[in-house]
Each structure stands twice: as C-alpha cells, then as structure tokens.
Amino acid sequence: MASPRLVTLTLAIEPVDPLTIFHGAGARDRRYWERPAEDFALTGIGTAWPAPGDTAASVKGLKPLLRDLFQSSLAVGPEGPMGAPVLMGAFPFDPERNDPSRFGFTVPAMAVRARHGNSELILSALVSGRDDLDAFPRLAEESAQLLSGSGSELGSLSPPWLIRDAGEFTHWRLMIDSALAEIESGRLRKVVLARRQQLAFEKSPPAAAIIARLRDGYPDTSVFAVAEGTRCFLGASPERLVKVSGGHLFVDCLAGSVPRGHSPSEDARLASELLVDEKNRREHMAVVEFIEASLRPLCSDLTVDSQPSVRAVPNIHHLITRMEGSLRDDDAGVLDVAAALSPTSAMAGIPRAAALDFIREYEGFDRGLYAGGVGWMDLTGDGDIAVGIRSALIEGTRANLYAGCGIVQGSESGDEWAETEWKLMPLRSALGLA
C-alpha cells in the first residue's frame, strides 16, 4: 500500500467570522489565531494530520516530519502560500518537563481563514487510495453545518471567584531573594519568574466569549486558543516570537514594562521614564543581545532597531526592539527560527540553561504552554508564532492564569509582584473577574 499523502482542497466562501466556527465546533479539537489589527483570522477544527509522539512537544522534532509531509502533499486551490496546507497549535515552554497539557501542532481537517474581507474554507485529509477520498464529501457536509450556524451567539460568562493562596506572596518573596542571590554570585544574569492564579466557575466558561473580549480589548496583539475537549489554552499576546513570510523574518524583543497612566500626561511621563529606567533597560538589553546572537547564524542580513521604543497596549507600556532579516537557507522557515529562540531569554533568563534549572527548582508549578509558542505555519515555511503570555489554561470549571517578570540586579519582590498584577489584568477581565 502506498504511503498516505496529505491532500488539501481550498475553496472561496462567503465572508465569515472564524470565531463563530470555533464556537460552533463544540468540544472537538480546535485552534484559533487572530491578529485583529492586521485583519487576519484563522480557525482549525478536527485533525487531518497530528505530529506523532513526543514531536508534538518539540519544535525541533517537527522539521523532518513536515519536510516529508510537504514533499508528498497535494494542494488543490489557490496557488502560493495562502493556498498551502496550514498547521496550527502550540509548544510548551519547557519540553523536558512531563507536561500533560501539550496540544501540539496539527493540520486541521477543516480550517476557515479570513483576511481583508475575504474568506476561504480549507479541507484536508490523509489519502492512501481512492476510497480515502470519501473523506472530502463528509468534511464538506460537516463544514456546511458549521457555516450555516456561523451567526450564533458566542455564549455568556458567569462571574468567577478567586481561589486565594495565603502563602503565595511569601513564596514569591523567598523565590525573588534566592534569584537575587544567584545574580549577585554571577551564576545568573537574569531569570524570568512566574506565578499562577486560579479562578473557579459554576460552569465551564465558553472559550469563544473570552476570545471575543480579548480581541475587542487588545486588537494590537496575537489572540489565540488551542482547545481539546473542555481544556483550552488561550490568551492575547503582545509579543511575536517570529513571523516568516517568503524567507523574510520579523521578531519582537519585548522586555521591561510599566503600567499605563490614569491621564494622558501621566501616561506620557511613564512612557518617557521607561525609556531611561536603568533596571528596565538592563533587562531589555539582555534579551536583545540573546535574540540577536541567536538570529545572526540563520540570516544573510539582519536589521536591528538602534534603540528600544515603547509599545503601548491598553494596560501596559513595554520596551520593544524590532528585528527584521532574510533567512540564509532556502529551506529554512518559521520552525528553524522558533527552535533557535525557544525558550527566549525574555521568558527564561540568561544564561538560559542555568535560568531553566532555577525555574524548575523554585517556581513550584509546570508552566505548560505558558511562555511557550503558539500560532500557525504552512508547509512552505511561512508562519506566525507568538509567545504564549497574557494567557490562561481553562480546564472544565477551573482556570489557571499566568504572569511573570524578569529579575535582574536591582529587582524588588514587591515591585515585581505588582508587575504580575498588571499582566494578569487582561485575562482576569476577559474571564469576568472584576
């Protein structure tokens, strides 16, 4: 019997909001990605091809599998990258941890893509022989049913309650003190530490309603969701890990932050102070140096902003340095860059190995997909992957919210705790916690 090949059929359809398709799919495996400010949205339902075994958790392990898949695939429909099969999913912050919440990258059996007022339906199946082509009429029928209900409501949220941990701040303070001691000794230059906040609901909250709030409130972010059954990892990330288009890459270096002001004058003052703040500049430049050093071997040319600027999202000012470049190798793509960068120093620390060891020992929980990568890619190597921050993992009637901050010389536990509170705000608000 011949080896199965991936066959993809792309069709133009009437304009539709992919989020309503995500919602209508119920408990099926589903993915969602949107860049509201760029007028681009994509949802995937079901699975035509899963990354097998542990490769779902390893961005490096995906590359040879996708090469084989691409060489044997057949795409029917529009030519070029926008007509190619699409993979969607996420990879964890630390693939060495035994993390039960890995969702992995898959080729959805059905995907709906919306861009600049146009929509496409993408149907995919693994085909070994003529009989397997029967999958397409079935997929077309299921798609028609989902599309017919695309105007339905996205569900409603009941207010959650916060599960308080009386010892959380004490643990945080001791962890920060230990980190500062490691920095003072020279074993660490920077380490990024996170905390987890838990909410409870009377009934499982509808993911689509949360996503709708995030995209309305934070349009200049990457809004995402990766869901299987009643488990869903979702968020609105201000940080792009990497975008690759036609061999050209775009990377954001995001580190250093302050809250937004309560008035225009205060907001402008806080942004100006952030640009010259010694502690935030130190944290930011450590990330820039790491990412630039990681990208140089992959690029034939790389342009780096000469100075950081301020990136403002509704509740936080961030320091950002942007990088653009051309990939050196013709067969390199978004996976190669993601593998070189992950986990970034913005999410782990410097030196990376020592920072990861510290995080594993002191944080007290497995980050899972938080601070990993989430997004989409196609078989040509193009794609867009965000860092999985400003995020939450919903499991039935519980939600785990995550936030972290970079610890460097001069950090203080109270200030860093306050920073995590600002960063928790988008998800707390989207989940209905006043």
Maximum alpha-carbon separation in the chain: 71
Q: How far apart are CA 244 and CA 383, in angstroms?
A: 5
Of the listed 34, 120, 190, 283, which one is catalytic? 190
Helix (H) or strand (E) holding 145: helix 135-148
For residues 157 and 30, is the Cβ–Cβ distance under 8 A? no
SS3 letters for 251-291? EEEEEEEEECCCCHHHHHHHHHHHHHCHHHHHHHHHHHHHH
Q: Is beta strand 398-407 parallel, antiparallel or unpaired with respect to 240-245?
A: unpaired
Give which of 252, 154, 211 is closest to 34, Cα–Cα: 211
Structure tokens at 13: 């359809």
How does DSSP classify residue 295? H
Give which of 338, 420, 427, 423 is closest to 386, Cα–Cα: 338
Of the listed 182, 239, 283, 419, which one is catalytic? 239
- Asked about 190 being catalytic, the answer comes back as yes
Give which of 257, 237, 285 is closest to 384, Cα–Cα: 237
Helix-helix angle 352-362:168-185, to 10 degrees: 150
Give which of 39, 174, 49, 156 is closest to 110, Cα–Cα: 49
Instruction: Give residues with Cβ within 8 angstroms of 345, minimum separation 6.
Output: 190, 192, 286, 287, 290, 291, 352, 355
Catalytic residues: 190, 239
